[in-house]
Structure 1
C-alpha cells in the first residue's frame, strides 16, 4: 500500500539569511542542519532548520533572495505553518519568550482543535505553535545544544494551512490521489490528514475568493510531503501524471529525491523521499556548520562562495 507519511519539509523565501539564521536558531532554538545553495540557482543560499539531524517532518527551509519584495497576501497560497510543542505549559513558555525577543504574537487560543499560539517571524511569515499532546513529527530527536529546554522544544511540523479559490479541486487531489482523510468540514474549511489521527500530516484548506497571493519575503514557496523511498516516489509520479498534472519528473536533490507539481489552484507540492538525509555528507555533530554542496556543484565551489554574502551571527 502506498502512503503519504506526513509532511517532509516546507520551503519559504527570506530577504536576509543572517536575520533568518538568528531568528530560527537563536529565538526558536532550531538546529541549522544544512547550509547549502538552491541547486537550480546556486547564487542563493538554501538553509534548513530542524531537529538534531533534520529528520523528515521537522525541516523548515529558506531560499535567500536579497532583492525580493514584500508579500501581498491573497488566496491560492500556502498561508500558515503549524509547529508542534509538547504541552500547554510550553505555550506559556513561548509567549514569555516572544515578549522577551519582541516577536509579534497573539494570545493563547485554539487553532484547528489544538491549543495554539500564533506568531510571525521578522518578515511576516505566519506561524502557529500547536500543543501536540505527546505526538512528535517523524523521527524527531531533541537537540541538546538548543537554547530551548527540551521540555519546550519545537518537535516538528503540524498543521499547514492553504487558502484556495477552487476548494473541491484541492480536496479531490488530497483525497482521491493521495489518500488523505477528511476529518472535519464546514462550509468554507476542512481538515485533512495523510494518516488519520496524526497531526504531523495535517492540511487545513480554506475556501477564500479574491486576488491570488503575490509572493515575497515571508511567503511560503512549497510544501513537501513524505514518501519512504524512490520506488514509492515513482508510483506517485505515475499518479500525478495520470491526473493530468505536469510533473518535474524525479529530481535527485542528493539529500533526498523528489518531484514537483502544481495542483489546479497553483499550489506547488513536492513529494520527497525520506533518505538518504543530511548526514550523507556530514557528521551529526557538525551538521550545518559549513557550506555543503552536492557533488555536481562541488567543482564550482569557489565561484559559488564568491557570490554568497557570509552569514553574520547576531548577538
Structure 2
C-alpha cells in the first residue's frame, strides 16, 4: 500500500486574493476550483486552482495574508514551482503572452533536463513553465474548456518542485530511503528525484544552498503535498514516518476534500501527504466549482460570521 504517486498540491501565501484570482485564473488560465477558508483560521481565504476539477497533481493553493511582508529568500525552503505544458510551441505562446501582459519572466533555460521558461506571479513567487514534450501525465488530468488559454497551450499540472536546503543529503535520505524516489540526475549542487520513473510530474529537485534560512512572506511556499491513494495508505505512511523519527506536526486530518498528514523533514521543510479523494466536487457541481464560498460541514454553522470578515472576490 505504501506508494507515493507524485505531487498532490503546493500551498503558498498571497497578499491579495483578488489579484491572485486574476493572475491564476485570467492570466494563467487555470480553473478557480475552490473558494474556501483556512480550516485552522477560518477568517483567512484558502484558494485552489487546477484542471477542470482540481485533480490531484494540478492543484495550486493560496492562503491570503493581507498584511504579509516581503519574503527574504534563503535556504531550507521550497524555492521554485514547475508547471507543465505540452510542447515547445506552448512555451513560445506563453513567452509572447507574458510579454504582451507585462508579466515578469526570464529567458528560456534548461531545468531538470527540460526546456523551461521562468516567470513570477504578482507576489514574487518563483515559477517555471516546463516543456513536457508530450510525455505521459496522469490519465485523470483534464483540461478546462472555459479557460481563456487555448486548449493546446494550457498548463497541464505541476512539474518539478525545487527544495533549497543546507544539508541535501538529509532530504535525499527521506526521498529515497523513506518514500522510494530514485535519483535520476545529479550535478555538484543539484539532484533530481522521481517516484514515477521518466515522469516530469513527479520530479523533486534538491538544491544545496548554504545561506541564511528563508524568512517567509508574500510569494513564499508553505508546504508541498505529495499523493497517496487512500485513507488506508495514509494511515500506513503516517505510522511509518513516525517510526523513522520524523517530527509529525499533526495527526491525520480530514480536510473534507482529502485527508492529510503533516511532518517536517530534517532541514525543516513541511511536507503533507494527501489522499486523492474525495475531491473538490464533493460539495459543488463540476459546472459551478469556485463560484461561491465553500465551507466544510464543521464550519457551515459559522458561515455568516466568516463571510462578514472576508472581502468578497469577483
TM-score range, shorter chain: over 0.9
Q: Distance in 1 between matches of 2:221 and 2:86?
A: 25
Q: Distance in 1 between matches of 2:80 and 2:167?
A: 18
Distance 1:136 1:217, change over 3 A: farther
**SS in structure 2 at match of 1:231:** helix
Is residue 2:168 matched to residue 1:167? yes
> For the Cα contact (< 8 Å) 2:253–2:259, is it kept in 1?
yes
Is residue 2:103 matched to residue 1:131? no
TM-score by length of 2: 0.98
- 1:45 aligns with 45
**SS in structure 2 at match of 1:69:** coil
Q: Give the superposition deviation at 1:144.
A: 0.5
Q: Distance in 2 between matches of 1:230 and 1:171?
A: 26
Distance 1:60 1:137, change over 3 A: farther
- 2:142 aligns with 141
Q: Deviations over 1:212-270 (max 9, x none)?
A: 00000000110000000001001110111011112211000000001000101010000
- 2:302 aligns with 300
Q: Distance in 1 between matches of 2:31 and 2:99?
A: 22
Q: What are the equivalent positions in structure 2 for 1:251-266 lying under 5 Å apart? A: 251-266=253-268
Distance 1:24 1:288, change over 3 A: same
> For the Cα contact (< 8 Å) 1:261–1:270, is it kept in 2?
yes
TM-score by length of 1: 0.98
Is residue 2:199 matched to residue 1:198? yes
Q: Distance in 2 between matches of 1:48 and 1:104?
A: 22
**Which 4+ stretches in 1 moved above 4 angstroms?**
none
Q: Distance in 1 between matches of 2:10 and 2:272?
A: 9
- 1:97 aligns with 97
Is residue 2:134 matched to residue 1:109? no
Report how many residues are paired. 312
Q: Give the superposition deviation at 1:167.
A: 0.8
> For the Cα contact (< 8 Å) 1:14–1:20, is it kept in 2?
yes
Q: Deviations over 1:258-306 (max 9, x none)?
A: 1000101010000000000001101000000000000000000000000
> For the Cα contact (< 8 Å) 2:136–2:199, is it kept in 1?
no
